[in-house]
Amino acid sequence: MVTVGSISGDGEADSLGRSAKIFANKRVNILLGETNFLIWKQQVLLTVQSHRLEGFLTCYRKALAVVVRQLDGSEKANEEYENFLAQDIALSSWLLSTMSPHILSNFVGAESTAKIRSIVVEFFSSRSTTTVMSLHFKLWKIRKGDLSMQMYISKVKEICDALASCGSLVSKVEHIATILGGLPSEYKPFVAVVTASWEVISLDNVTTILVDAEAQ
């Protein structure tokens, strides 16, 4: 991970300033909602890291003083402060643009990257027991039905990821068992192959087996 440290010179300051301006125009494919935190987080982190601004998210970058004291005791405007503020505003604005409309109201008044990050952490760490139970119930009752195999497996993963974001991890065995349990009867021979294995087959291998089975 590349970490943003203190700005040591005008060249680096200009570079980071330009990075912040370009960064503000970046878009992600997934808007943050109540069930896709992990996917959103991955996209955001990769984009932020590519612009060397993740120090704002990790709180490594601290707010700078507006003025600095000189050796003779006088005060002078801090030239680095404006650059810091521009980066923080650009990143804050961009982060808000990645939020789904139905959760955006939670961020009213959040005007810094640190505050936005704090609200995101609080929002997803305080999910109620009711939400977790609802997701588990959704996982238990999911069935392939008329969905394509790839779409069905993706929906199972989406629920598992949502549970993980709420702190309720689904084991690999349970994840695979859920997929197999929601398949129609014509897939029984393929389910038997997976369950008869001496070792737990990886999710990727299970996906390959079932997608090939669908094609047949």
Q: Report pLDDT digits (tens) over 149-168.
A: 999 999 999 999 888 877 78
The answer on 121 and 14 residing in a single domain is yes
Q: What is the arithmetic mean of pLDDT over 197-208?
A: 87
Structural domain span for residue 164: 129-215
Pick the most confident of 21-30, 36-45, 62-71: 36-45
Distance CA 33, CA 104 (A): 9
The answer on 138 and 93 residing in a single domain is no
Give residue 54's pLDDT band: very low, low, confident or very high (50, 70, 90): confident
How many structural domains is the chain composed of? 2
Distance CA 28, CA 34 (A): 16
Question: Quick check: pTM over 0.85?
Answer: no
The answer on 149 and 103 residing in a single domain is no
Mean pLDDT estimate for the chain: 81
Q: What is the arithmetic mean of pLDDT over 84-88?
A: 83
Query: Does 28 fall in a domain?
Result: yes
CA distances, 103 to each of 27, 51, 108, 202 (Å): 18, 26, 10, 35
The answer on 140 and 46 residing in a single domain is no
The answer on 138 and 118 residing in a single domain is no
Residues in contact with 186: Cβ distance below 8 Å, sequence separation at least 6, in sequence order: none
Last residue of a domain, one of 85, 100, 125: 125
Query: Does 3 fall in a domain?
Result: no
Give residue 39's pLDDT band: very low, low, confident or very high (50, 70, 90): confident
How many CB atoms within 10 Å of residue 101?
A: 8
DSSP letters for 40-107: HHHHHHHHHHHTT-HHHHTT-SPPPPSEEE-TTS-EEE-HHHHHHHHHHHHHHHHHHHTB-HHHHGGG
Distance CA 91, CA 113 (A): 7
Sign of CA pseudo-dihedral 174, 179, 184, 190: negative
Q: What is the arithmetic mean of pLDDT over 130-136?
A: 87
Whether the per-residue pLDDT at 63 is higher than 80: the answer is no
Q: What is the pLDDT of residue 5?
A: 32
Query: Does 4 fall in a domain?
Result: no
Whether the per-residue pLDDT at 2 is higher than 50: the answer is no
Last residue of a domain, one of 125, 144, 159: 125
Pick the most confident of 33-42, 73-82, 94-103: 94-103
Query: Does 5 fall in a domain?
Result: no
Contact 212, 153 (CB under 8 A): no
Contact 88, 56 (CB under 8 A): yes
